[in-house]
Amino acid sequence: MRAVIVLSLLLLNIHHATSAPKGVTASLKAKWSMTPFLLEASEFIGEDGNEKFWQFIDTVKELTVYKQGESVRSYYNLVIKKAGQFLTDLKVNLLKFALALRSYSPAVHASQQIAGDEPPPEACPAFVSIHGQHSCSTKDVKKLLKAASGRPKPYLYKNDHTYPGINKTDVPVVILYAEIGTKKFASFHKILSERAQEGTLVYVLRHFVADPKPKKMLLSGYGVELAIKSTEYKAVDDTKVKDTKTTINTEDEDNSEVQGFFFGTLKKSHPDLEEQLAELRKHLLESTNDMAPLKVWEMQDLSFQAASRIMSVPKFDALKLMQDVSQNFPSKASILDILRGEGRVLEGLHNLGIKGEHQGKLLRLPVNAVDDSYALDIRHPTIMWINDIENDPVYRSWPTGVQELLRATFPGVIRQIRRNFFNLVLFLDPVQEESVELVKLAELFYKHKIPLRIGFVFVVNTKDEIDGFSDAGVGFYRLLNYIADEYDLSQALMSIVSLYNKVDVGDTLSVDTLSAYLKKKFPKANAERIIGKESEYDDKRKDGALFYKKSGLGALPLALFNGVPLSQDEMDPEELETIILQRIMDTTTAFQRAVFMGQLTEGSDVVDYLMEQANVVPRMNPLILGTDRKYLDFTAAPVVDDWEDTTMFSFLDSRDKTAVMAKRMKYFKNSDEDGMSTLTIWIVGDFERASGRKLLLNALKHLKASPGVRVGVINNPSGKPSEDNTVLYRAIWASFLTQKNKATADFVQKLLKEESSHQYVQHHKQTFKKFNTLEVDFIHSQQLFCRDILKLGPGERAVISNGRILGPFEEQEDFTVEDFHLLEKITLSGSAEKVKATVKQMGMKASDLVMKVDALLTAAPKGEVRRDVHFSKDSHSVLHLSPRENEVFYDVVAIVDPLTREAQKMSSLLIVLSQVVNVKLQVFMNCRAKLSEMPLKSFYRFVLESDVTFLANDTVSPGPAARFMELPESPLLTLNMITPESWMVQAVSSPHDLDNIHLQEVIVMAEYELEHLLLEGHCFDLSTGQPPRGLQFTLGMSRDPLMYDTIVMANLGYFQLKANPGAWILRLRVGRSEDIYQVLTHDGTDSPADTGDVRVVLNSFHSKIIKVRVQKKADKINEDLLSETSESKGIWDSIKDDGEKKKEDVLNIFSVASGHLYERFLRIMMLSVLRHTKTPVKFWFLKNYLSPSFKETISHMAESYGFQYELVQYKWPRWLHQQTEKQRIIWGYKILFLDVLFPLAVDKIIFVDADQIVRADLKELRDLDLEGAPYGYTPFCDSRREMEGYRFWKTGYWASHLGHRKYHISALYVVDLKKFRKIAAGDRLRGQYQALSQDPNSLSNLDQDLPNNMIHQVAIKSLPQEWLWCETWCDDVSKVTAKTIDLCNNPKTKEPKLMAAARIVPEWAEYDKELKDLLRLVEEKGEPPHDEL
C-alpha cells in the first residue's frame, strides 16, 4: 500500500503531456535477401562432416510442406528439432546462436550467386547442370548424361557438398541447384543419390532459392558508438528535417530497474497509470542522466568506483551492470568458431567420462604441433667426417666459448667459433654425374674455412662379388679408404676433387679414369690390392647403403643440414651454396636464443644438443611425418555394440561404428609395469595375402621390443568375406579367445611365418575349439568399417596409431619394423605420454582411454598456448559465476578495466556467452588508478543475440539493433559504426544528421547496410621479392569479369577489392598490368595454387586474405608499370572505358564531407567551382561518410548542372594504425590513400575542402607547374597581425623542423598522381603516419601535420598565396585577389560556421538559396534517385 501512495505522490508532480522516449536506434542489414533457416542449419551441420550433412538432408528433404499456414516460430522449432537428431545439446545451442548471428547466410548466398552465374533457366524452382547443360526436369537427366563426357567437367569448389557415393573420376558430374526441403528437391535428390550410390555419376548439391523473399536480414556482431562531440565551434546545420514519426520499441527497456523502480512490474499491476508511469520513468532517467562535468579529483578513482559497484550487486546482475556502466559511460576468429572448436574437444572429453577439473588438465597439455622440418640423427658411425671444427688444428685460433654467439657483429658476418654448430652431410653415389659438383662445393667450403663440419655417406654396390675393376663406385670407395689410411680424411677430400677434375662435364666416373688416376698419383701402390678382389680397403662398404636404406630418405644425391634434409630443388649446386650460408645465418639465431636462455652452455656438446631436439627422428618416412593427418573419432557411446549383426552395424554412423570397433577389439599386449599401454596400433589388411601377413609380423616384432604397446588386428578381405578367404584371421581371433596373451603372440608369429599357413591351421584346429564355430559376420562388419570410415578398397592395408590413420598403402609399399619405431616415437612425443601420465593421476587405468583422449587432443586444431590464470586474492575484485553441474562447461576468465572500450564490448559478449553455453566465469576487475581525463567519451552498444527472437504474433522479429535509450539530452553526439575488419557498411536510410545528433530535438533511426565484404590480399613479384607498385587487379564473375578493380600498394603489397558472398575470379587488369605481368602462384584461394585463374569463394562474414605472387613476362623484364615513356598511351589505353576514344580534358575535384552542414557547404563549393570554369568537371567524393540524403540527391544536382561524379570507397587497412575518432578518420582519408582511391587514368586531382568557395577557374591550378613536386599546397597567411599568438607553427617543434620552409594549409591542394605514385609518396606518408600516430599527442591536425612533417622526404610546391584566403589568418586587403575563400575556424572569436559564411562571402547566400530551391523541387517531384555514375 505504501508503495502505491509514494507512487501516486510522485505522479502528481508530473505534467500529463506524454512523449515518446528520446533515443537512437541503429541497425545493419545485409545487402542480399534473407536466407532460409533450414539451409543455414544444413551448412552448420555440414561443418561436422559430409556424412552428417547428407543424413540431415535425407531427414528434411520435404520439410517445407509444414511451412504453409503455420507460424514461423513453429517451423523454426521444427528445423531445430530435426537438426537436434544429429547434434548434441551443446551443439543445438550453438546452432541457435549461429542462426541468430546469421553466420551461415553468406555460405547459402554464395551458392545462390554461383547459381545466378550459370544462369538458371526461366521459371525453374530447381535445376541440374550437367557439364554446362541445364534442365528443370528429372526426366531429362538420363538424356543429358549420355553426351556429358564430351563436354568439359564443371569447376568444383572446396566447400561443395558431394554425395558420398563411389566417387569415380571418369563419370559425369551433376550439379543440382535446389532448395532443400522442397518437393522438387526431393524428386531430383532421389534419382541423383541412387545413381551416385551406384557410381554412375558424381552428385553435387548447391543451394538455390528460386524465389527469394525481398525482405533483408538484420545482422549482428558489430558495435555502435555515440561519441560526444566538442561544441567549441558550432557546426550544426540549421535546415529543419521532416521528422518521420518513429517510435522505438521499449518493451525490453521496461524490465530494467530505474532508481529502485521496476517499471515493467508496475505497469502490469497498474495498467490504468501507464502514461504517468512512462512519464515518471522518463523524469527519473533524465534526472540521473544529467551530464555535469567532473572535477579532476572526482575523476581519479572512477575505474575503482565502477568496479566496486559491479562487485556489490548479486552475481547474475553484475554482468548486466558492467554492461550498463561501461556502455553508457562516456577481434580475431569469430566467437562462434572458437566455441565450436572448443566444444568438440570438451564434449569429447565429457563423453569419455572426463569431467570437471580433469578436463582442464588434459586441455592444457602441451600437444606438440606437427613439425614440418624433421631432422635425422647424424651421430651415425657410417658418416665419414672430413673435418671437425672442435678438434682440427686448422681452427685452433678460433674462440671456443658459446657466449661468442652473443657478441655483436656486422649483419651477414658468419661467426668463426670452434664448435660444431653447423653440420652438412652429403649422401652420394660416386658414379652419379651430380656428385662431381657437390664434392667440389664441399671442398670450397672447407678451403674457405667456413665453420661447417662436412661429412659424406657413399652409397655404392653392396654385392660381395663386385670389385673395383667392374664397378667404379666400389673402386672409388676403396681408393678413398686407402688415401684416408695412408694420409688423412682431408687429404682424401682433396684427392677426390682432383680425381673428379679428370671427369669431363656431362660424363660420369669410369673405372678407367680411376685406374689411371691411381697409377699416376700413387705409382708404387698395388692397384690389385687396393681396388681388386682381394682389397684390404673394403671395410664397411655396405654400411653406407644400409644407413641410406634405413634412413628412408629420397633419391640421391641428398644433403642434410644439421640433420634436416634439403628438398630436391635446393640440391642444385648453383643454389646450394647460397642456401647453406642462409641456413647458417638462420640457425645462428636459434643458437643465440638457446645460449641466452641457458639451454646451451659451455659444457654442452653442441651436436648432442641438436640431436636431442623434439624434431629429430631415427628415420624419414613422409607417410608418418607428413603434416596432413587424419584421425578416428572415438568419442561416441553407441547404444549397441554388436558387430555380429552386419545389417544393424551398417546403420550406425561413422562415430558409432568406430566406437563398436574399439569396444570389441582384442589385443596383443606388451604392457608397461603399470599394466597400461600408451600406444595402441591397429593393423588392417588381408592376411591371406603375403603383404598383409608381413605388415602384421613387423608390428608384432616391434611389439616385442617395446613395452607400453598393444596391437589389434582388423580384417579387410579382398573379396566378400567367406570361410575360405578368412581362415588366417579367424585362426588369430580364435587364439585371442582361447589362449593367454604370450601364447597368442607366439602362435600368431609362427602362423604368419609358415609357408603353408592353412595346413598349420588345420593341424592346430583342435587346440582351439572356438575356430570351428566362428562365423564370418563380424568380418563383414570390419570390411564395412574399412570401406566407409577408413576409405580403403577391398584388401588394402593401413595402420592406425592411437586413432591416426596411415594408409592405404600401395601394394609394393613396405612398412618396416623401423617405421613402427618411428611411428611410436612420433605418437609418444606428440601427446600420448603426457595423456597417459594425466589419466593415471586421475586414477583411471585404461589403455582405451589413453588411445581415445590422445586421438581427440591431437586431432583438435592447434590454437595458442593455453595459460592457467591464478588470482592470489580474489574476494574483492573477481566476480565468480559457477557452471551447471554434470554438463559440459567452458572455463572463461576475463580480465578487464570496467571503463574501457574493451569492457564495453566484452560485457555484452560475456552475457551472450553465458546464455549460449554453460560457463564457469571469472571476471577480474583490472582498474587503472589516477585517471586525469574521462576514460570513455562515448556511449556504446555491442549488437549480439544468443537466439533468434520472435514477435508476439510468433513471426520472426526483424532482427537485432543497437538501441540507445535514456541518454542525456544536452551533449552533441556523432554516430559511428564499429564493424569487423572486412565489412564495408554505409548508411542507407535516415533523415537525420547522424554526425550531429541532438536528442533534445529528435528521435533518431539509422539504417545501415553491409554493402560489401572485402577481399584483401598481398601481392609480390617473385623475381624481386618486392610488391609490384601500380599493378591492377580486377574482380568479377565468368559472365561479368570486370565488376571491381584495385591497385597494389607498396606497403606490404596490400590490395583490397569490394565483393559479396559468391565465387569470384581475380585477374590482372587487361592492358598494361596483363601485358607486363603474369600470375604465378597464389595462397588462400579456392583454385589450385599454380593455375592462372585465381578463383576465390567468399562464403562467410570472416576476413578473406589471399597472397598472390606475380612475375614479369620474359620479354617485359625491363618494362616499368609506372614509367613515363610508355605511360602516355599504355596506361590510358588500358584503363579507359571502351566508349572513350581519346583522353578528354576533365577537371578532377576530390572532397570529403560528413554531416548535413558540411554536405550543404559541399554543394555550395561544387556550385562555385562550376560557375568559374568552362572545362568539364568530375567530382570524386569519399562515399564512406556521406549521408543517405546526399547520395539520393547528388544525381539530380549532376543532371541540373551538367557535371560527372563518382563515389569512391576504401576501407582503412587493418595493419595501419586505427584512429577511433570519426573526424580524425576522415582527415586520414584526405591524405593517406591518394594513390589507391583513384584509377591510374586520373593524372591530376585537386582536393577542395567542403567549406570553401571558389572564385577562379581551377583549370589554372591544375595546369600549374609543380616543378617536380608530387603535390602543391598553399602556405598559411601571415598578413593578419592580431592572430600572431595563435600561429603555432612559428615556435617550438614546427619552427625547428621546417627551418626556412613554410607551414602549409590542407584545405586546398593539387596532386600530380603520376609523380605521386612514381616516387611512392603514398607509401612514404603511410609509413611516417604509422610511426607517428602511435603517440596520441602527435599529428593533432592529421591531414595537415603529416605532409608538413614529411616536407623533407616528399617535397611540397608552395602555391601562390591568392589560391587560398581565409579571414582568420589573412588581412582584408588580400581578399580582393583571392581565388578561393576558406571558412577556417577562428580560435579567437569561435564564430559558428554558418554565420561566418554569410558574413564573409556575399555570394554564399545566393548559392545556398539556389541549391535549396533545387532540393525542394526534387522533393516535390518525389522521383526516384538515379543510379550513381
First to last CA, the chain: 69
**Cα torsion through 1191, 1197, 1203, 1206, rounded to 10:** 0
Instruction: Give the SS3 label for residue 533.
Output: coil
Whole-number pLDDT of residue 570: 85
Q: Which residues of 1037-1069 are buried (b: 16+ CB within 10 A; e: fewer)?
A: beeeeeebbbbbbbbbbbbbbbbbbbbbbbbbb
Describe the chain by its helix, strand, coil percentages, rounded to 5. Answer: 40, 20, 40
pLDDT at 1342: 85
Q: Give how far Cα 1356 sits from Cα of 1125, 1265, 1309, Å.
A: 24, 12, 10
Q: What is the DSSP string of 625-655?
A: H-S--EE-------S----S-HHHHHHS-HH
Report the C-alpha dihedral over residues 1367, 1373, 1376, 1380, rounded to 10 degrees: -30
Q: In this structure, how many other beta carbons lie within 10 angstroms of the beta carbon of residue 168?
A: 10
| Chain position carrying cell 591464478 | 870
CB contact at 8 A, 536 and 529 = yes
Q: What are the 10-residue block averages of pLDDT along the chain, 1429 residues in total?
A: 36 38 85 92 92 91 72 86 90 92 94 90 90 88 84 88 80 93 92 89 93 87 86 64 50 55 72 73 60 55 67 64 54 69 87 83 76 86 93 93 88 88 95 89 91 94 88 91 85 84 82 88 85 85 91 90 90 86 90 92 92 87 85 86 86 89 92 86 93 93 92 93 85 84 81 72 61 80 92 93 92 89 88 85 83 90 73 72 85 82 81 87 81 76 88 82 83 88 89 82 85 92 84 88 87 91 92 89 82 85 90 86 52 41 77 90 94 93 90 91 92 88 88 88 91 92 92 90 84 86 91 90 90 82 89 91 90 90 87 88 90 89 51
Residue 963, beta-bridge partner list: 25
Q: Which residues contact 572 (CB under 8 A, 6 or more apart)?
A: none
For the whole model, what pTM was predicted? Answer: 0.80
Number of CB atoms found within 10 A of residue 935's CB:
20
| Grid cell locating 1133 | 589505353
**Pairing of β 804-806 and β 878-881:** unpaired
> E-assigned strands of 1024-1085?
1032-1037, 1040-1047, 1054-1059, 1062-1068, 1077-1083
The answer to whether the CB of 952 falls within 8 A of the CB of 235 is: no
Is-cis flag, bond preceding 883, omega within 30? Answer: no
DSSP 414: P
Q: How far apart are CA 427 and CA 408, in angstroms?
A: 35
Strand bridging mode 1077-1083 / 1104-1112: antiparallel
pLDDT score recorded for residue 763: 66
d(CA 100, CA 945): 6
pLDDT of residue 1427: 43
With a CB cutoff of 8 Å and minimum separation 6, the contacts of 1183 are 986, 1191, 1207, 1208, 1209
Residue 65 has what pLDDT? Answer: 76
DSSP state string for 112-140? HHHHHTSPPPTT-SSEEEETTEEES-GGG
Distance CA(664)–CA(667), nearest Å, equals 10
Looking at 341-415, which runs of residues are DSSP E strands? Answer: 375-376, 384-385
Phi, psi of 197 (to 5 degrees): -65, -35
Strand, helix or coil for residue 64: helix
Query: In the prediction, which pLDDT does 301 show?
Result: 65
1180 forms bridges with which residues in the sheet?
Answer: 1150, 1206
Instruction: Give the rounded distance of the alpha carbon of 709 from its chain centre.
Output: 39
At 209, the amino acid letter reads: V
Question: How deeply is 1370 buried, as exposed, middle or buried, from its count of CB atoms within 10 A (0-12, 13-18, 19+)?
Answer: buried
User: CA–CA separation, 1186 vs 1154, rounded Å?
Assistant: 6
Q: Provide the 3-class DSSP secondary structure of residue 564.
A: strand
Bridge pairing between strands 1004-1021 and 23-33: parallel
What's the CA gap between 1174 and 1153, in Å, rounded? 25
> Which cell goes with 1299?
627551418
> In this predicted structure, what is the pLDDT of residue 16?
36
Instruction: Fill in the DSSP letter of residue 459.
Output: -
The closest alpha carbon to 924, from 871, 981, 1001, belongs to: 871
Q: How far is CA 303 from CA 315, 329, 897, in A?
A: 19, 11, 7
Report the number of secondary-structure helices (H) and strands (E) in the chain. 50, 47
Q: Identify the residue whose cell numbers are 634434409.
A: 565
Q: Whole-angstrom Cα distance, residue 984 to residue 1183?
A: 11
Name residue, grid cell 688423412.
488
d(CA 1101, CA 1065): 19
Question: Is 1252 within 8 Å of 1308 (Cβ atoms)?
Answer: yes
Residue identified by cell 533515443 is: 23
Q: How far is the C-alpha of 577 from the C-alpha of 706, rounded, in Å? A: 42
As a whole number of angstroms, the distance between CA 998 and CA 977 comes to 18
pLDDT score recorded for residue 754: 67
Whether 1347 and 1271 have beta carbons less than 8 Å apart is answered as yes
| CB-based contact 226:28 (threshold 8 Å) | no
Pairing mode of beta strands 919-925, 878-881: antiparallel
In which residue are the cell numbers 539504417 written? 1007
Eight-class DSSP state of 1114: G
Phi–psi pair at 28, nearest 5 degrees: -135, 120
φ/ψ (deg, to 5) at 840 = -65, -45
Distance CA 768, CA 771 (A): 6
